[in-house]
Protein backbone atom coordinates (compact mmCIF):
# COMPACT_ATOMS: atom_id res chain seq x y z
CA UNK A 1 0.00 0.00 0.00
CA UNK A 2 0.99 3.61 -0.51
CA UNK A 3 2.49 5.51 2.39
CA UNK A 4 2.25 9.12 3.42
CA UNK A 5 5.39 10.87 2.36
CA UNK A 6 7.21 13.05 4.87
CA UNK A 7 8.85 15.93 3.04
CA UNK A 8 12.51 16.74 3.76
CA UNK A 9 14.99 19.07 2.00
CA UNK A 10 15.98 16.07 -0.16
CA UNK A 11 12.46 15.42 -1.43
CA UNK A 12 11.97 16.06 -5.14
CA UNK A 13 8.41 17.31 -5.72
CA UNK A 14 6.52 17.59 -8.98
CA UNK A 15 2.98 18.16 -10.14
CA UNK A 16 1.43 14.83 -11.14
CA UNK A 17 0.20 14.77 -14.75
CA UNK A 18 -3.41 15.10 -13.66
CA UNK A 19 -2.75 18.28 -11.68
CA UNK A 20 -2.24 21.21 -14.02
CA UNK A 21 -0.86 24.65 -13.30
CA UNK A 22 -1.89 26.97 -16.09
CA UNK A 23 -2.31 30.67 -16.73
CA UNK A 24 -5.90 31.68 -17.24
CA UNK A 25 -5.81 34.45 -19.83
CA UNK A 26 -9.42 35.44 -19.31
CA UNK A 27 -9.05 36.08 -15.58
CA UNK A 28 -5.38 37.05 -15.74
CA UNK A 29 -4.30 34.65 -12.99
CA UNK A 30 -2.69 31.29 -12.43
CA UNK A 31 -4.98 28.38 -11.72
CA UNK A 32 -4.47 24.79 -10.58
CA UNK A 33 -6.80 22.23 -12.08
CA UNK A 34 -7.14 18.90 -10.28
CA UNK A 35 -9.82 16.21 -9.91
CA UNK A 36 -12.99 18.03 -8.76
CA UNK A 37 -10.87 21.01 -7.71
CA UNK A 38 -10.03 24.44 -9.06
CA UNK A 39 -7.53 26.40 -6.96
CA UNK A 40 -6.25 29.96 -7.27
CA UNK A 41 -2.77 29.93 -5.70
CA UNK A 42 -1.22 33.24 -4.62
CA UNK A 43 1.96 34.61 -6.18
CA UNK A 44 4.39 32.87 -3.83
CA UNK A 45 2.57 29.54 -4.15
CA UNK A 46 2.79 29.84 -7.93
CA UNK A 47 6.52 30.50 -7.64
CA UNK A 48 6.96 27.37 -5.54
CA UNK A 49 4.78 25.24 -7.83
CA UNK A 50 6.65 26.35 -10.95
CA UNK A 51 9.84 25.06 -9.34
CA UNK A 52 8.30 21.67 -8.53
CA UNK A 53 9.60 20.19 -11.76
CA UNK A 54 10.59 16.70 -10.65
CA UNK A 55 14.30 17.57 -10.94
CA UNK A 56 15.14 19.89 -8.08
CA UNK A 57 15.02 18.80 -4.44
CA UNK A 58 13.17 21.05 -1.97
CA UNK A 59 16.56 22.36 -0.80
CA UNK A 60 17.27 23.88 -4.24
CA UNK A 61 13.74 25.24 -4.48
CA UNK A 62 14.34 27.07 -1.21
CA UNK A 63 17.66 28.44 -2.51
CA UNK A 64 16.06 29.68 -5.70
CA UNK A 65 13.23 31.40 -3.83
CA UNK A 66 15.62 32.94 -1.30
CA UNK A 67 17.54 34.47 -4.16
CA UNK A 68 14.48 35.71 -5.99
CA UNK A 69 12.92 37.32 -2.94
CA UNK A 70 16.28 38.42 -1.47
CA UNK A 71 15.34 36.57 1.70
CA UNK A 72 17.35 34.54 4.17
CA UNK A 73 16.95 30.86 3.24
CA UNK A 74 16.63 29.87 6.90
CA UNK A 75 13.63 32.17 7.16
CA UNK A 76 11.69 30.60 4.33
CA UNK A 77 12.79 26.97 4.45
CA UNK A 78 10.24 25.81 7.01
CA UNK A 79 7.39 27.52 5.15
CA UNK A 80 8.34 26.00 1.82
CA UNK A 81 8.68 22.49 3.27
CA UNK A 82 5.33 22.93 5.00
CA UNK A 83 3.73 24.01 1.74
CA UNK A 84 5.09 20.98 -0.11
CA UNK A 85 3.97 18.68 2.72
CA UNK A 86 0.50 20.17 2.66
CA UNK A 87 0.12 19.84 -1.10
CA UNK A 88 1.56 16.34 -0.99
CA UNK A 89 -0.96 15.42 1.72
CA UNK A 90 -3.73 16.66 -0.54
CA UNK A 91 -2.20 14.55 -3.32
CA UNK A 92 -1.62 17.64 -5.44
CA UNK A 93 2.16 17.11 -5.50
CA UNK A 94 3.99 13.86 -6.07
CA UNK A 95 7.28 13.51 -4.24
CA UNK A 96 10.30 11.35 -4.75
CA UNK A 97 13.09 10.99 -2.22
Partner 1 sequence: MPAPGPPIGMLAELTYRCPLQCPYCSNPIDLLKANRELDTGTWLEIFAQAADLGILQVHLSGGEPTLRRDLEDIVAALSKRAVYTNLITAGVNLDGQRIGALAAAGLDHVQISFQGASAEVTELIGKYKNGFEKKLQTARLVREARLPLTVNAPIHRHNIHQVADFIDLALQLDADRLEIANVQYYGWAYLNRAALLPALADVERQVEIVEAARENLKGILNIDFVTPDYYADYPKPCMGGWAQDAFVVIPDGTMLPCHAAQTITSLEFDNLVDKPLAEIWQSSSAFEKYRGFDWMHEPCRSCPRKELDHGGCRCQAFAVTGDAAATDPACILSPHHDALRQVAEAAVAEKSTEFSYRRI
Cβ contact 4:89 at 8 Å: yes
Sequence-distant (6+) residues with CB within 8 A of 22 are: 30, 31, 33
Backbone angles phi, psi at 14, to 5 degrees: -150, 160
> What does the per-residue mask of binding to partner 1 show for 12-51, with x meaning CB under 8 A?
----xxx-x-x-x-xx---x-x-xx-x-------------
The CB-of-84 to partner 1 minimum distance in angstroms stands at 11
- Of 17 and 74, which has the nearer Cβ to partner 1? 17
3-state secondary structure of 94: strand
Note the residues at the interface with partner 1 (CB under 8 A).
1-5, 16-18, 20, 22, 24, 26-27, 31, 33, 35-36, 38, 88-91
Amino acid sequence: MRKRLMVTPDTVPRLPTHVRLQFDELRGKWVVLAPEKVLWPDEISVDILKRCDGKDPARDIVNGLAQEYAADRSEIEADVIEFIQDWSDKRLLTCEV
